[in-house]
């Protein structure tokens, strides 16, 4: 029998542009009640661009919440009801200035399951073509092309710490027999 909890009451304690936070009372499977603080997020989509030579494109940008510059796959947050695949294609163009002929679904990751509803959808893109890059006015990043093997080494040595990027690179490598 699957484990579950049933929401009895939910109080919104914050509503912002990107997240909403609720304080929920739940019934546990043993009949007792407990509380949960939940961050509600529309999710995100990311894309792993891979060129014909086996190079991948990553972005390097500062992330305020953790106070450091990190390596990531091109990605963006979803608007309510937005199709994740279309968002991933959009981010490929906006952040990398690329379009692609072929896309491979690499699945979904739940980055923080203890308190956050966010889901991140991941695709690999091949058959790349240049297009116009058009960053948001508050977006500052560098696009870096490197061999897949180097990106995998950066995951293994701890340089790439972003979870969606780790999962996307490792899963792509395993599916392609490169790991």
Q: What's the pLDDT score for residue 179? A: 57
The residues of the chain scoring below 70 in pLDDT are 178-179
Q: Which of 5, 72, 94, 137 is catalytic?
A: 137
The pLDDT of residue 137 is 86
- The pLDDT score that the predictor gives to residue 178 is 63
Q: Read off the pTM.
A: 0.93
Residue with tokens 């560098």: 142
Sheet (strand 33-41) strand order: 6-15, 19-27, 33-41
In the residue annotation, 137 being an active-site residue is answered as: yes
Domain ranges within the chain, ordered by starting residue? 6-40, 42-107+119-175
Q: Which CATH architecture has domain 42-107+119-175?
A: Alpha-Beta Complex (3.90)
């Amino acid at each position: 029998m699957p484990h579950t909890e049933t929401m009895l009451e939910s109080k919104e304690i914050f509503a912002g542009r990107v997240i909403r936070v609720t304080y929920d009372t739940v019934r546990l499977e043993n009949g007792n009640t407990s509380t949960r603080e939940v961050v509600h997020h529309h999710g995100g989509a990311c894309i792993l661009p891979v060129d014909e030579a086996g190079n991948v494109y990553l972005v390097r940008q500062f992330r305020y919440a953790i106070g450091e510059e990190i390596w990531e796959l091109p990605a963006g947050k979803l608007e309510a009801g937005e199709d994740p695949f279309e968002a991933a294609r959009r981010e490929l163009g906006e952040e990398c200035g690329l379009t692609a002929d072929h896309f491979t679904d690499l699945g979904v990751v739940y980055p923080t399951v203890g308190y956050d509803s966010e889901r991140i959808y991941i695709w690999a893109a091949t058959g790349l073509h240049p297009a116009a890059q058009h960053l948001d006015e508050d977006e500052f990043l560098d696009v870096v092309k490197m061999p897949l093997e180097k990106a995998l080494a950066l995951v293994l040595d701890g340089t790439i710490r972003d979870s969606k990027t780790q999962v996307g690179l490792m899963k792509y490598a395993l599916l392609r027999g490169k790991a």
